[in-house]
Amino acid sequence: MTKQEKLWLTAHALGVSTSEILSRKNFLDEEEKKIRALLSRREGGEPLQYIMGQADFYGRDFFVGPGVLIPRHDTETLIEAAKKIFPPEKNFSFLDWGTGSGCIAITLLLEFKNSRGVMLEQSPEALNYAEKNLRRYELEDRASLNDSSTKIFDLITSNPPYIPSHEIDSLMPEVKNYEPRLALDGGEDGMNFYRLILSEARRILKPEGFIIFELGDLNQYKVFKNSGSEFLFAGEIFDGGNFPRAIILRKRHENF
Ligand code: GLN
């Protein structure tokens, strides 16, 4: 645990600001007890964001907790990808597949004031967080959860589970012991959900509509980059590690 984490957790335990903690000389026994409880959870390996109940994504706070994937900084590349294809005033509909905390969908709604979205999520725990986050940003009228009334979209976004099943055991303990396997395990080659989403996109994505996927590894990247199918490579955004974390695909025109 870093010093900074300790400070955040101490402030969180007492429900006060970090500057108040820094100005305090000592704590009451009862306060010490509360602080200890949170610090020992962190020492046991629980992710900081689960203990704090919040995670930052694209400069905004999102509620998180056990059962939902913690938003990753790398996933912000999906928002950059959307900004590459649509101007800020663009009016469009999107489907966010496997929305988790809702961080991608909600950020799109906030960055593109004329967009509206459907958020899909099969985990009841995650759905609960998506709903809370949607309410937090007062966006209930521009997005709906697991709603099948919209039949066709301009954009599909997804950070699907993409880790090959046999690699799950080698993930960091903080991830594999605490975060939901449902949000990580993408089947034998990690690509089950990409295949599923692409097959659905034949029906629910408009001709010349876009897909923005988060990618997990170079094999997945090569498959999309070289595919000459009905979904064409249309761009990419690199993460801080210089990996093409977000890929943009474009559906061919119907008459092609
Ligand atoms: N990026 C996540 C991780 O590193 C994986 C998320 C996913 O499978 N989509 O653990």
Ligand 1 centroid, distance to 185 Cα (angstroms): 9
Closest CA to 97 of 64, 146, 152: 146
| Residue 148 confidence (pLDDT) | 86
Whether the CB of 184 sits within 6 Å of ligand 1: yes
| Residue 255 confidence (pLDDT) | 55
Helices (H), 103-216: 103-111, 124-136, 173-176, 192-204
pTM beyond cutoff 0.85 = yes
| Residue 102 confidence (pLDDT) | 98
Mutate to test the pocket of ligand 1, among 162, 215, 220 (most ligand atoms within 8 A of CB): 162
For residue 175, the ligand 1 atom closest to its alpha carbon is: 10
Q: Where are the domains of the chain?
A: 3-44, 54-251
For residue 161, the ligand 1 atom closest to its alpha carbon is: 8
| Residue 123 confidence (pLDDT) | 97
User: Is 130 in contact with 100 (CB distance < 8 Å)?
Assistant: yes
Ligand 1 centroid, distance to 186 Cα (angstroms): 10
Ligand 1 centroid, distance to 74 Cα (angstroms): 9
Whether the CB of 215 sits within 6 Å of ligand 1: no
Ligand 1 centroid, distance to 124 Cα (angstroms): 19
The fold of the 54-251 domain, in CATH, is Rossmann fold (3.40.50)
| Residue 253 confidence (pLDDT) | 84
Gap between the Cα atoms of 197 and 157, Å rounded: 10
| Residue 214 confidence (pLDDT) | 98
Q: What is the pLDDT along the chain (256 residues), one digit of tens a residue?
A: 999 999 999 999 999 999 999 999 899 999 999 999 999 999 999 999 999 999 999 999 999 999 999 999 999 999 999 999 999 999 999 999 999 999 999 999 999 999 999 999 999 999 999 999 999 999 999 999 999 888 899 999 999 999 999 999 999 999 999 999 999 999 999 999 999 999 999 999 999 999 999 999 999 999 998 877 789 999 999 999 999 999 999 999 865 5
Whether the CB of 205 sits within 6 Å of ligand 1: no
Whether the CB of 14 sits within 6 Å of ligand 1: no
Question: What is the amino acid identity at position 37?
Answer: A
For residue 162, the ligand 1 atom closest to its alpha carbon is: 8
Whether the CB of 163 sits within 6 Å of ligand 1: yes
| Residue 184 confidence (pLDDT) | 97
Whether the CB of 72 sits within 6 Å of ligand 1: yes
| Residue 90 confidence (pLDDT) | 98
Q: What are the residues whose beta carbons fall under 8 Å from the beta carbon of 221, sequence distance 6 or more?
A: 215, 236, 244, 247
